[in-house]
A and B are shown apart, each in its own frame.
Chain A
Amino acid sequence: MTKKQKKRHGSIRVPGGSSLAASQFVAAAFADIEHIASKSTAVRLKCRWNLHSQLADIISGLFRLASQKKNRVAARWATEELVSITVSCTNCLRQIATRKQPNTSERESAGAGLALVYARLGKYDSELTKRNPAYCKRKSALTKQRKDVVANTGLIATTVRDELNKACKYRAELLALRRLHIGTKWRVIPDTDDRTQREKPAGKARRWVPPLSVSKEYKVTHGTGATVS
């Protein structure tokens, strides 16, 4: 291997300046965290904390860069970076959560985290669909929903769906009634309420309501002939 090839293989030279050698720091930190025998607990904890703060700084910096309006190219790059981080993180979590192992703490936390992501996305799903056409388009393409069959918005399809839902509801109610041994034959129960025996006032009112204050003028005669005021 020549000197040039060695150089190319080792690191990528970026035109415009030297790199900050962050990869070396990250590799060293991971090595420190991993090796239990060689390092003390305090060192390992410090390394973990350093890595965590670095990661948080990177994510917040990317978000800041994506939100600014001065440099559109940088904003786009930052957004793409955030997307790639999210996708890779979700994949990693999914792999951890679906391991064929008995329930471990990391598996539990991965599952809980994925559930959190799913619930949060589900909460804002309708808003995202309304506001972002790219989200809507990509989602339908990825899930491959046959809109013409499943959620056809035509008049005939919606009518049929409504009627099916109604029929299912009726069927459930009817089955419940049958379970209670209630027949379908209706019979009229004689109304024993006094109001039916009273004389209804003339007029076009659909529902007759007795006056709030019963005065002496308003007298109701029962079948027996007794007068009640």
Chain B
Amino acid sequence: MELEPLSVKTAAKWFKRIIWPQIKRRSRELLPKLRARSKRAKRVDVGDGKSKIIRRRLYLTDYYAEFRNAFLSLVRSSTTGTSKAKLQR
């Protein structure tokens, strides 16, 4: 990949090529934490007025959009806006 500087234009590319592989490398550490905060559950009627909660198994790719949105908003807020809203690194 060309070493383009990070900007709003190149943020999507940066995420796809650089940030996401790095996050994937940390999946063992991150997945349990992400699963713990997940609300993806479905209540199913079993019968006799009883219900059961079914949870689907989650993978890191389920959170791809959330990570991407967070990254893009971070870049947007760090490169544009007032000086007070700049990213404090």
Contact = CB atoms under 8 A, between A and B. Distances in A.
Main SS of chain B's interface residues?
helix
A50 to B, nearest CB: 43
A219 interface: no
Contacts of A157: 70, 74
B30 interface: yes
A149 B30 contact: no
B67 A156 contact: yes
Given A149-B73, A150-B87, A155 B23 contact: no
Contact of A166 (B22, B37, B84, B87): B22
A161 B66 CA distance: 13
B53 interface: no
Interface in A133-163: 143-146, 149-152, 154-157, 159-161, 163
A155 B36 CA distance: 11
A160 B33 CA distance: 15
Given A155-B34, A171-B3, A146 B22 contact: no
B7 interface: no
B46 interface: no
Nearest to A152: B70
Contacts of B71: 160, 164
A146 B73 CA distance: 12
B30 A161 contact: no
Contact of A145 (B75, B85, B89): B85
Q: What is the predominant secondary structure among interface residues of chain A facing chain B?
A: helix
A112 interface: no
A28 to B, nearest CB: 45
Contact residues on A (Cβ < 8 Å of other chain), bracket: 20 to 34
A160 B84 contact: no
Contacts of A175: 3
Nearest to B11: A164
A156 B70 contact: yes
Interface in B29-70: 30, 33-34, 37, 63, 66-67, 70
B19 to A, nearest CB: 5
A167 B22 contact: yes
Contact of B89 (A144, A156, A159, A165): A165
A168 interface: yes
Given A146-B85, A150-B87, A156 B66 contact: yes
Given A159-B23, A167-B18, A171-B3, 11 more contacts: A145-B84, A149-B74, A149-B77, A154-B70, A156-B63, A156-B67, A157-B70, A159-B26, A159-B67, A160-B23, A167-B14
Q: Which 7 A-B pairs have the closest CB atoms?
A: A149-B77, A163-B22, A160-B71, A160-B70, A167-B18, A156-B70, A163-B19
11 contacts: A143-B84, A145-B84, A146-B77, A150-B87, A155-B30, A159-B67, A160-B23, A160-B70, A164-B6, A166-B22, A171-B3
